[in-house]
Structures are given as structure tokens and as C-alpha cells.
Structure 1
């Protein structure tokens, strides 16, 4: 059922207050909503590299499928039904086993003999596209070796609007360009390994509080709704997903929360809200927010039409809230299949079979779902690289039940195939290059200190082991990843203390330690003896289904955990060379201690994965050049200008307006002229760098032309099977809890014939008009025309070889635009005394703004400039863009 249409006045869409009142049943009504976008565009792959051949194969095999087989491909078989966190039904007649979907974006969740990679926040801190690709490829190879078909990553949602956001660490930084670049590189790596990448969480999934009823300390009826204005949606939150689509991503996961796209003139002030379920008589109750997995504008309109997405949309776990509504809105696969975990009832499965039989869901829509899934399957070569699933998410035993919930089919469920290869070396390199030096008064790199002292529980091991807390839901010992479904089991975890002990042995240094965060007297005595004091402090965050130390996924504040501020000040009060390393999922406040005269160096080491200790030693001793911040570290939490919602504004569906608009992270600081402690892109180097010259060359790119055309027409046809053909076959054994596509009877649904394919809402047999901003994966191809080439010369004026991260920002010149936005970066290696030339392409997309009136990208006549330098506020090279 379609959302209500917005009111249009003079070409601009006007939205009223978020909470408009209540209906006769007492259910509140909300005026923020997204417009309807029907029908779902047909995937085609026509003339698209990588997709064309895949679609030919997909169309051929789907043409052979029965109705039940197509439904089986699109519906999950239920939570804990088989060994993966998500499984689809099989089609044995055509030689297709069920698909295996497995977390996570940093390794194989719940896996054995697999790696724990650095988190997204750490790969973002490397500012290295090559490393992002290599990490994606390595993770893809590990998933491939375990039989996984769809890796549930990489992540660009959350983007990091709220610095306390629980899952920010899974993503690739708080800038759309940086995040999109990392997302695209990871997609290419994963899929080059022969596994379908699933970019998530689409879209504006920026906090854990109230994302799902029943997960929160304060009960709500429906999920939180994120209300985002149209321009911000395009220029901030959808930007990275456009990069992923252009990179050929096979799957995108729609999110749990409600989302509203607010059309109107920018800036519009709106709340983040969850999408309300259409299946609960939405029109009658006037609930016009829309859940992410049945928001037709997000899925049909922006993703499949405007961005030209050719893959399939799968739901986040428990994010489907309707059957027919989700199918028509563009959802292609439901996970894990049951409505709620272990309810054994599905909105799809047999119900989707009925919906097709009675014409509620047209056959072309089901065909498109199945074809999109199979096209992604063939695109990455799963028909050539697929092996039997040899992992089990529910037990570490070698033998167990293939159908875990039902306790049936006892067999080998964990083959214990070791898929790690030499990935530990890559993990160590990424974690080191993703460490950021924030302060260095000459104490780094270390030489061979005579006596080292190490402080803080973050330096050492969890005494119960690195995997003792389910999904890493604790913060004991060193923090190397956050908690939740985005985690992986550690095959081992090298703590900083272990690595420093090994180095001290090599250098013949004395090393002592105090890892009790409250043993102040012992810290005093130990710190006074040492030449170099290394303090390790931490913060943690994760997914909302787990609460750690009172933090319900999102952090309660930006302070350090485990008495961290006190540990730093205690040590610094007794040691003139105190070096602080922070392991955290995002920014932490440092004002209590950062200017202490005895704090000689500070490092932000993110969440480094299994090689944590070795990687920090590599940086401390100067063997690896460090990275740069992928977010801003403020002097106070209030300086970010945003507030995460810890208490709902109503008890039904909390409404959170994204009032910051385009001004997220450094853009807000620049616009409001707020001085941060450390700006976005900041990081010190072990060498010195001189930015010598900049030249701009305008290309001969032609003008921009709005795209016109249509998607392929749907092949509308009647169902060939009768209801009796779709009953459970005689003698068929139904595994308890398993979700099947079959009907248990025909009379209970009132089905007597084979049904006709009734008209779907908005269905047009000539195809769907493609939006002006569309026309190819990633959007209108002319958006990617290069308008200028910028050539800059950078010299290493230091005494040692090094790596510099050259950053390019663009000013678009309009008053309501950000002061500058990141539009390019490059990590380059230059020998001491040498120089290099770095060439950046500036595309039309880089200087365009989303125009809400024309619903297309527009390059205004405002004067534009390009800035190049070492961070968002250290930009010595400036030139006009003519």
C-alpha cells in the first residue's frame, strides 16, 4: 500500500510537523513521509559490463523455475534453520543449493580458523584505496573458502552523524566521499574473490537506540524514524551507496529503522525516524512514515531507478514488516525469513505464493526478484567458485545438527577449513597504517628505551579469553573491535603488552606494567622508574541488542572507559615521557589531559583486529607511516551540533529530524567556525612535507544532459500452476521451524483457480521512466565526466622516507553549501629529499548540488575553488575552477 502523497505548492513539497495528531484508534499520525515510487524497475543488465552476461544466464535459469522455486529463492528459511546466519531455500531440480549469507564486515562472524580484520574505522584511517581493496579481497576469499555466498558487508550506514553512534566503527568514515571510496574498493575486492558483497545499512541508519522495539530500556511501539531532507539524502547519505552501485555491488541491505525523505527547499529541519509498517492498515491509521524495507521511494525510486542498481535488495534481520507492501516497494529477499526470530511464520514463503496466485503481487515482480538474485550470483562467478558450506553459526563442535533449531540431520557441520592464509600480515599492515599520531613532541619514534612501563587494562588480555563474550559484548582487556553482529571470532589476539614484551626482549629493555586501572599507588611507583611510559586507554560501542557497561549499543558519552582519564593523569604526573594510545570506535574527548606537559605523544589506534599489539609497536618504533583521522575530534560533545536520541519524543515511533543537513562532522565545524581539537583528515607524519605547486587544466567535457528513457517492460503473465500444484508434495517431510514456499491447503486462502495477474500499483507495461539523474549504475553517466584535472607537487622535505596523504577539497561557492567538501585523496610514498606529482580528476558530480525542484544534479554559476593539503584545515594550495 502506497504512502500518502505530499502536498505540493508552487513546485515545492511542503511537510508539516512530524507529530500531527492521532486517529480515532489513538495511533499517532506523522506528517513526515516519503512519496510513493511504483512500480519496481525491472533489472536488465543491458549493455552494462559485468551485468549483461550475468543477466542472460539469470533470465535463462529463472525461466525454468516454478513459482514455488522462485519463492524459495527469495525467502529465508528461518532463524537457526541451517548453519549460516541467513539461508535461502534450495532448488535441487536445477542444481542450486540454498544460498548462505554470513556476517560480517570485518571477518566471518562466529567462524573458526578465520581472521579478525581491522574494523571499518581503521581501514578508513589509512586513506588507502589499495589497502581497502586488499582487505575486501582477503575477507572475500575467507568467506568463499567457508562456502559463504553473500558477505554482509561492507558498511556505510551509519555514516557517523552522531559521534556516539554504536556502529560507526563498522563504516568507512564520516565523509561521503571517503566512505564511498572505501565502500567501492571493498565491494570490488570481495566480489573479485567470487563472493557477493552486500553494502549496508541502506540508509541513514545512524543510531542504535529505538531501532527496534524491545531492544531499548524505554519501550516503544515502532522503530525510530530518520527524517532527512531530499538534498541531504542525495549529497550525504546516498552518495557512498552510489559509489558501491557503480562498483557493481551485487546486494544492498535495507535497514531496520523507519525513514522519511522530506522533499522541499534546503535546508529543512527534520528528525531521524523509523519507518512504520504499512501492513498495519497504514492508510486507515494514517501512519505515513515508512520502514526502510518497504519505502518505495528509497528502493524503487532512488536505488533501482535513479542509481540504476542491478542487484537485489535484502532485508536486515527482522526488518521486514509486511508482505505485499515490501514486494511492491522493491524488496527482493527477506532475511532470516521468519517475521521475528523463531516465530516460524513469514510474510513471504507460502504467503508470497498466495499473493502471486491471487494477483496481489504480479508474476513479473517475483520474476524480477529471482532474476536479480541470480544475476548477482553469476556476476561474481558463484557458479564457478561455490563450495559446500563448512561453517556453523550455532555450535563450535565438529558434529552437530544441520537444522539446528529442529535438531535434525546430524552430520559434520564445522569442517574447520583454515581460510586465513597469510592474512595476518595484511591485518598488521592495515592496523599500523590506520593508526593516527595526534601529538608528538619528539618522543616518537622510540629508539631502545632503557626501561618501559605499560599501563591500563587496554594493554592486556581479557583474562577469560578474546572470544569469551558473545559477539564481543564486553570491554575487558584490550579493545580490538566493537560488539554486535559486525564482529568475528579472534583466531588469536596479540595484546599491546605482549608485543611490547617481545620488543623489549629484542632491545634488552626493562619492561614493567600495571594493568589494573584503579591501582593508583602501583602506577605512581612504576611510572617514576621508567624512561618511557606507555598508557593504553579505551572506549567501546556496538549494536543495540547488547548492553555493555550501561551503554545500549550507542555510547552514553564521549569519555574514556575504565577510569581512562585518571590513569593518564596519574601516570603523567609521575613520568615526563608519557605516550597515550587510544583504542576506540570513534572520537573521544581529550581536554582533561591532552595539554599535560608530560603527555609527549598521543595515538588514535581505532579498532585494529587480531594484530593489535604488533601493529601499534610498528608505529611506536617508526617502522610504519601512520594514517589520518576519518572524523573530527572536538573539544566538547556539544561542538558537534547534533544530539543522539536517548529518550523518545513519543512512545509510539520516535521522530528524529536530521537538522544538521549537509553539515555533518567537519562541515559543521567549518560552517560554524568552531575550532576542533583535531580536525578531519589530521595526522602527524614521521617526515616533513612541502606542498609546492598546483595547476588546473579544464577538459573538453560536453554539457550535462538529463537522462531520458525507460526500463525494460515487464512481462506480465498468468500463473501456470494451480493452487493444488503448490501444496506440499505427498510424503514431504517438513523440518520443524523451516519456512517453505508451499501451501498447506487451498481452501483456507479461498483459492479455487490459478488466479490472474491483477494490475500492480502503478504498473505500466511499457516500462518505468528513468529519472533524469539516472541512466547507469551510480547515476547519470555524465555525472562522472571529468571537468578538471588538478596537478599538485608534493615534496618530502624530511630526513627519512615517508608516506603522505594528499587531500583535495572543493568549495562549491553557494552560501548554503559547506565551506569545503572532500573530493579526492591519495596516499603516496616519497623518499627523503624527493618529490612527487599527484593528479586528481574532478568530475561533474564533485561540483554538482542536488536540485530539489528539477530532481536532478545542477552545477551552479557560483565561483568554485579547489584546495589541496594535509587535512581539512591545513590546505596551503588553492586554485580557481574556471
Structure 2
């Protein structure tokens, strides 16, 4: 009997149970209609949540119905908190402040601007992901923020032109899962709750919300793809203890994300054993009682026309059992207790003034101890993809010429305190509130200056930021290097005495709109105009997503190319450190760069409201798990730069691969452990280990990103299942070990609704990218 039918029978809903049995018969059952899963599972506590659960039960037991309902929706804030839960003064509950976002605290002053999610993904560093999270969490806590609205693992990057892909870590679910786990752990170590988002299948900005007569887009998916790809990093976040999950705007199999009982009650709260609370994305609630029954626990930014007094009425007239309200309140308060927010955390929103003249205390949340994290995080997310003619590192050039619109500080980047606290600043000036493609071929916002981060609720508003031009000027002054710059012309003249030229471009993105393109002629022509006059032309692209380079990359005078991503406030110093060899590049691509945009197939563009779906746009995820490098492998497409690729200033050798079974490991096909946070406990049992020796065969100390890919019988040819990032000095060797768990080696069985460990021969590959696999072996199960 399948899981959905079991849940329905336990609920006494025999008619739904029969329907569930009929729909879960093959892998296409999820398309078009989302199976019902009721009732919403109540929090059970257990293990690490038990103490908080017991405290919450005692607390909620003292509340009136109205007080419980008041915990479930926001109230108009008197601070710049994104959302506020009101206080219950008689029980000394101070309320809660929820604020954006996953790349640093925005909409306030005296905070840092951290590298964006895509930059962390490009670093391939577990350590940096954790330390960045610790530093971010500390700033949120000092400002009185209870819930950090991040990190992001949805969108997962399915739609190549997706406007918010930069907020997530990678298009690969395994890489995203590891980095979100480190991020959740680091933030919550500071006593700040993470709101892992946007759950789930929020893969495009186009039609993400209903407008006029057009409904929000429906992401239509099968059960197998859901588990093996999109749910995977959310599962890692839940296992890491994420206290909150944010449900998404769009529909899932034609049911809104915040009213979808299958994804909230079934997958999240039952299968993954999630113990925290579910909050809506801002204004993503489209139903009242139905969204409560489906598993949503908190509405933001407020009750609007759905909750509040309407929930009280629903309980009194029998439309909704009070037990559901009690569970909603219990989950919220238990999460508050779980992270000791009853003990010593600053008053909610204390450092989030609504304007410069208000009575709130001014809190400088920055910590000097975070400076190395900001700088190293920025350095390691740069990816060097081309370096010929010994162009890099630079060696005290006599003259350095700089070009391009992404070199300088944006002219609005030094706002007044009032401007920092306004939405117009956070989302960009009026004309910049979209990924607007101007007649000259690129995003208007991006032309205004360098891109430290993306736009929208994931934006950063650092107290200071250093552009590439500013940092390079200081380095040139130290070395006695003459500089020439022209940041305005699209066909600049180049001084023939230039030893090297650097051209800066960007690929901008903003919440609310998908990107207009992944290449633009204006920037390509600018780069080629410089290269035609300079035999060592270095291209630096600050990219908020995939950016094609085939319009210029084969030009013989283009001798170095760097994907600089979104580095945060230390953008300039980080780039300068890399250009001059103070550090060796160690970033690797967290996505595949194609030669042509058509190489990405049907996932290049967002789904539109057209034809028979003019009023109900549909995004059919029929490609299944074959996205990015899996798709390129399957279709035999040669990329320009493959997933996991990146150059260094040194070279490495891979030697002595060993693949070993873990002694006593249970290789029975089905897991049998109890469900705790994240799913069945034995999914994380170690089944095998893979070890390899890595030696630095060059002359420069550097990190290497060793990547493990496996070929599971009956699954894609290879999938990432491990990475390590050792630092090696010249001639130094180090052994790295990858631990393969039951989940790593399993596929999802739709019929059994469990992860199935495959029997047969697994192919094992270890290398420096998804296509540079230096050693290989096999594992028999």
C-alpha cells in the first residue's frame, strides 16, 4: 500500500484513500493533479526537538484561540523587518522579526554584503559556506531578527534564464544540498532560525503570481523527479534542522504551493518528518481554511482577507478543527524555543529602524572577525576558465588599461540612511526594477556599474563596498603601474603601450523577471573592440547566472576569462588578489556553459501563457532529472565549459583510487529506519568509501576541488556524489576520502514510495570536473 493511501486511511478518509491508490500506479501520476494528503500531521517532537516541543505545548496550552491565531500571521511592522509576529505580553513572548535574506541582512544600515548563493556554489567550499553562514547569522541576531529568510535552494536552476537562479547554490541537487546543510547549521548556530526557500519547484519568475485573468504558472512534475532532483536539497536542509520552510508562489501540478497538501503534508511533514513551521512567501497565500488544512502554518506579511478573524470564525463554525490552529501555534513557538530565542536574544527588530529619525537604537552588526570570510568567500567564487600566453597572474605591468561598464561603483551605491531603508533602494531605482533589456542589448541596471549582488529580496545593502576599479587603482599605485581607463565608450581606443587590458561586463538579474538573454551583442562587441587592439585582453564577467562566451572567447587576443559571479562587498580586493597571484583561482563552475543557447533545449526559456494555456500557463518538467551536465551527457552535446570546470595557477595529479565497502553495511534494497528530521535514519548510513591521492605537480600553492561522480545502474551516466577541497603546496600530496551513503546510491521507487538501493555494478569516477575524470573504478552491490 502506498504512503498517500496509508495517510488517507489513518485520517479516516476512505474515498481519498481509494483515489490515492489509483493515482500512484506509475511515474506519471503527479502530472496535472496533485494527490490530496490530509490531515496535516501534528508536530511530534522527538530527538533534538523534544525539549522545545514540551515547552511549546505548555506555552500554547495557556493561550486563547484568538492568541493562537495571532501567532499565525503578520502585523504591520514599525520597523524594516520584512514581517512581524505580534507579542503576547501577558506571557512575555516578545514577538518575532522575519527579514530578508540569504545573502546578508538588507533594508537596514551597518551590515555586510556577503557573496551571493551562486558565488558560494562556485567556491565549492563547505568550510566557507559554514563560516559565511555563521557571520551572517551573527549580524541578523544583533539586529534583532528571529528568522532569516533564506537560504535558497529553489529555484534549483531548471530555467536557464531564471531571474533568481543566482540566489541558489547550484543546478546540481547534491552540491546544493551539501551547501544548504552547511548554511543552515552555521546560521542556526547563532540562534537565528533559517527559512529555507522557496518550497518547491519555483523555477521561473514569469507568471510566478496570478495577474488579471492569468493564473500563476503550474510546475508539473512526476514523483521520481521530485524526489531525485528538487526535493533533495530541501531534505538536506530539514536534516540539518532548518526551523522554517517557506512555501512558494507558483502552482505545483495546478495546486498553489502554499495550499498543496501533497508537498506540505505529504512530502515535508510526513516523509521528511519536518518539525518546524511553514511560512508563506509574501502574498503567496490564495486560500483560507484550505491553506491551513494543507499544512501552511504562518501567513506573511499579514492575515489579509484569508486568516486572522476568519480563522477564529472557521474554528467556531466547525470549518476547521482547533487542533490545527494549536499545531500551527505549537510549531511556531517550539521553533522559537528550539533556538533559545527565549533567552538573551535582542528585542525583535531592535536594529531595524524604520527611518533615520525613529527611536530605535542604532546597531552596528558588523564584526571584524567576519572580514576574512567576506574576502575569502569573494575570492573563491571566481572561476578562471581561460588563461593563455602567461597572461595571469599579472606581474607589475608597466601600463594596465581598464574598460567596460562593470568596473566602477554604481552611482547610487552610496545612499543616505533613509535611502538604504527604502524599497526603492533595495530593488533598484524605478527603471531598474526589472531585467530590462535596452536597445543597445543589455540590462540597463547592469550598465550602471559593477554588480556586487542581484536585485530583489535577496539583494545586499552593505555599509561599504569596494569596486574592481577602486581596488586595482590602489594596487597600481603600489606597483608604479600606469593606468588608462574608459568605462563609457562601446568602441574605445586602446593605448598601444598597454601590457594588458581588462574588460568588465556583467549579466544582471532581478527578482520578478526572468533574464532577457544569456548573451548580449553589446558586451561581446565591446570585448572584441578592445581585443582587436590589445594582445592580452582579460575578460571579467560579473554574472548572476549562466553567461555564454562563444561570441568572443576564441579571439586570439582574448587570453584570460573569469566568471566573477556576485562577490559581495569585497569584490574589488578579491579580484585584485587573483589577478596578481596573491591567491590562486580555486572556483569551479556550478553549472554548464554551453556553446549556443539552443544547446540547453526546452529549459532555456520560462513557460509562457500561450495557446490553449493562455490563462493557465503550464511548465511541464518532462526532462526529468536530465538537466545541465546530465542532459549534455545524455544528448552528446559538447559544452564550452563543463560543470565543475575551473583553472588554477598550478597543476594536479590524481593517483591511487580505492573503492571499499563499509564493513557491516546493510545493503538490503529498502531502508527500514524510523523517520526523524530529514527522513528515514538509515538513509545516511555509510555504504562505501572512495579514496584518492592528489598531488600538486606545479609551482604554486592552491586549492584543488576533487569531484566524485557515480553511475548508478539504470540512472544517468554520472551524478555528483562528493567533493573535497584540499589546499596543497607544490609537490605536496594528500589523500581525500568520500563517504557514500544509502541515499547517495539509491533511486526513488514510485511503487514502494521509498529509496531503493540498486543491485549491480556502480561506476566510480574522480576528477577535476564532470568531464575531466582522471581515475575510475567500480563498486559492486
Q: Same fold (TM over 0.5)?
A: yes
- Give the superposition deviation at 1:876: 1.3
2:739 is equivalent to residue 779 of structure 1 = no
The corresponding residue for 2:266 is 301
Q: Secondary structure of the residue that 2:773 maps to in structure 1?
A: coil
1:390–1:414 contact (8 Å) kept in structure 2: no
Taking the TM superposition and a 5 Å limit, the aligned residue runs for 1:325-344 are: 325-338=290-303
Cα distance 1:541–1:466, how it changes in 2: closer, same or farther (>3 A)? Answer: farther
The corresponding residue for 1:59 is 57
- Give the superposition deviation at 1:366: 1.3
1:700-729 Cα shifts (integer Å, max 9, x gaps): 21244867xxxxxxxxxxxxxxxxxxxxxx
2:703 is equivalent to residue 803 of structure 1 = yes
Alpha-carbon distance in structure 2 between the residues aligned to 1:436 and 1:385: 41
Alpha-carbon distance in structure 1 between the residues aligned to 2:324 and 2:230: 27
Taking the TM superposition and a 5 Å limit, the aligned residue runs for 1:311-390 are: 311-338=276-303, 345-390=304-349
- Give the superposition deviation at 1:151: 0.3
1:390–1:416 contact (8 Å) kept in structure 2: no
Alpha-carbon distance in structure 2 between the residues aligned to 1:385 and 1:434: 35
The corresponding residue for 1:269 is none
Cα distance 1:258–1:394, how it changes in 2: closer, same or farther (>3 A)? Answer: farther
2:556 is equivalent to residue 597 of structure 1 = yes
The corresponding residue for 1:280 is none
Alpha-carbon distance in structure 1 between the residues aligned to 2:28 and 2:383: 43
Taking the TM superposition and a 5 Å limit, the aligned residue runs for 1:785-796 are: 785-796=685-696
Alpha-carbon distance in structure 2 between the residues aligned to 1:181 and 1:136: 13
- Give the superposition deviation at 1:385: 3.6
2:599 is equivalent to residue 644 of structure 1 = no
Taking the TM superposition and a 5 Å limit, the aligned residue runs for 1:133-148 are: 133-148=130-145
Q: Secondary structure of the residue that 1:602 maps to in structure 2?
A: strand
2:137 is equivalent to residue 178 of structure 1 = no
Larger CA deviation: 632-641 vs 383-392 = 383-392
Q: Secondary structure of the residue that 2:591 maps to in structure 1?
A: coil
1:497-548 Cα shifts (integer Å, max 9, x gaps): 1100000001110011010142x2xx2233x23101011111101111xxxx
2:97–2:145 contact (8 Å) kept in structure 1: yes
1:3–1:290 contact (8 Å) kept in structure 2: no
Cα distance 1:819–1:94, how it changes in 2: closer, same or farther (>3 A)? Answer: same
The corresponding residue for 2:233 is 240
The corresponding residue for 1:715 is none
The corresponding residue for 1:571 is 530
TM-score w.r.t. structure 1 length? Answer: 0.81
- Give the superposition deviation at 1:392: 7.5
Q: Secondary structure of the residue that 1:386 maps to in structure 2?
A: coil
- Give the superposition deviation at 1:197: 0.6
Taking the TM superposition and a 5 Å limit, the aligned residue runs for 1:187-206 are: 187-206=184-203
The corresponding residue for 2:114 is 117
1:559-600 Cα shifts (integer Å, max 9, x gaps): 148x21111101100000101111011111111110111011
1:173–1:631 contact (8 Å) kept in structure 2: yes
Q: Secondary structure of the residue that 1:174 maps to in structure 2?
A: coil
Q: Secondary structure of the residue that 2:134 maps to in structure 1?
A: helix
Cα distance 1:555–1:706, how it changes in 2: closer, same or farther (>3 A)? Answer: same
Taking the TM superposition and a 5 Å limit, the aligned residue runs for 1:140-159 are: 140-159=137-156
2:659 is equivalent to residue 666 of structure 1 = no
2:494 equivalent among 514, 521, 525: 525
Taking the TM superposition and a 5 Å limit, the aligned residue runs for 1:745-756 are: none
2:646 is equivalent to residue 683 of structure 1 = yes
2:505 is equivalent to residue 541 of structure 1 = no
The corresponding residue for 2:450 is 478
2:746 is equivalent to residue 848 of structure 1 = yes
2:197–2:245 contact (8 Å) kept in structure 1: yes
Alpha-carbon distance in structure 1 between the residues aligned to 2:323 and 2:37: 17
Alpha-carbon distance in structure 1 between the residues aligned to 2:692 and 2:228: 27
1:59-117 Cα shifts (integer Å, max 9, x gaps): 12111222111111111114x56541111121111101221000011111211000111
Q: Unpaired segments of 5 or more residues in structure 1?
A: 19-30, 261-288, 339-344, 400-411, 545-552, 708-771
Alpha-carbon distance in structure 2 between the residues aligned to 1:325 and 1:810: 42
The corresponding residue for 2:392 is 444
Alpha-carbon distance in structure 1 between the residues aligned to 2:692 and 2:243: 36
2:374 is equivalent to residue 427 of structure 1 = yes
Alpha-carbon distance in structure 1 between the residues aligned to 2:175 and 2:366: 30
Alpha-carbon distance in structure 2 between the residues aligned to 1:3 and 1:487: 43
Alpha-carbon distance in structure 2 between the residues aligned to 1:128 and 1:34: 37
1:124–1:173 contact (8 Å) kept in structure 2: yes
Q: Secondary structure of the residue that 2:705 maps to in structure 1?
A: strand
Q: Secondary structure of the residue that 2:194 maps to in structure 1?
A: strand
Alpha-carbon distance in structure 1 between the residues aligned to 2:25 and 2:42: 29
Q: Unpaired segments of 5 or more residues in structure 2?
A: 1-12, 420-424, 433-444
Q: Secondary structure of the residue that 1:41 maps to in structure 2?
A: coil
1:308–1:774 contact (8 Å) kept in structure 2: no
2:353–2:361 contact (8 Å) kept in structure 1: no
The corresponding residue for 1:27 is none
- Give the superposition deviation at 1:643: 3.7
Alpha-carbon distance in structure 1 between the residues aligned to 2:365 and 2:241: 29
1:70 equivalent among 68, 71, 78: 68
- Give the superposition deviation at 1:774: 6.5
Q: Secondary structure of the residue that 1:188 maps to in structure 2?
A: helix
Please tell me the root mean square deviation across aligned C-alpha atoms, in Å: 2.1
Alpha-carbon distance in structure 1 between the residues aligned to 2:341 and 2:642: 43
- Give the superposition deviation at 1:140: 0.6
Alpha-carbon distance in structure 1 between the residues aligned to 2:673 and 2:313: 37
2:23–2:35 contact (8 Å) kept in structure 1: no
Cα distance 1:838–1:207, how it changes in 2: closer, same or farther (>3 A)? Answer: same
The corresponding residue for 1:489 is 461
2:655 is equivalent to residue 692 of structure 1 = yes
- Give the superposition deviation at 1:395: 4.1
Cα distance 1:488–1:366, how it changes in 2: closer, same or farther (>3 A)? Answer: same
Q: Secondary structure of the residue that 1:845 maps to in structure 2?
A: coil
Alpha-carbon distance in structure 1 between the residues aligned to 2:391 and 2:450: 23
Q: Secondary structure of the residue that 1:384 maps to in structure 2?
A: coil
1:803-825 Cα shifts (integer Å, max 9, x gaps): 101100110021xx211000000
Alpha-carbon distance in structure 1 between the residues aligned to 2:200 and 2:701: 42
Alpha-carbon distance in structure 2 between the residues aligned to 1:227 and 1:588: 27
The corresponding residue for 1:745 is none
Alpha-carbon distance in structure 2 between the residues aligned to 1:122 and 1:3: 45
2:608–2:618 contact (8 Å) kept in structure 1: no
- Give the superposition deviation at 1:555: 0.7
Q: Secondary structure of the residue that 1:423 maps to in structure 2?
A: helix
> Which structure features the higher share of helix residues?
2
Q: Secondary structure of the residue that 1:309 maps to in structure 2?
A: coil
The corresponding residue for 2:592 is 632
2:569 is equivalent to residue 610 of structure 1 = yes
2:144–2:351 contact (8 Å) kept in structure 1: no
Alpha-carbon distance in structure 1 between the residues aligned to 2:199 and 2:674: 18
Cα distance 1:9–1:379, how it changes in 2: closer, same or farther (>3 A)? Answer: closer
1:500 equivalent among 454, 465, 472: 472
Alpha-carbon distance in structure 2 between the residues aligned to 1:428 and 1:4: 55
Greater Cα radius of gyration, structure 1 or 2? 1
The corresponding residue for 1:733 is none
2:161–2:604 contact (8 Å) kept in structure 1: no
Q: Secondary structure of the residue that 1:537 maps to in structure 2?
A: strand
TM-score w.r.t. structure 2 length? Answer: 0.91
2:726 is equivalent to residue 828 of structure 1 = yes
- Give the superposition deviation at 1:464: 3.1
- Give the superposition deviation at 1:391: 5.6
1:146–1:419 contact (8 Å) kept in structure 2: no
The corresponding residue for 1:92 is 89
The aligned length equals: 737
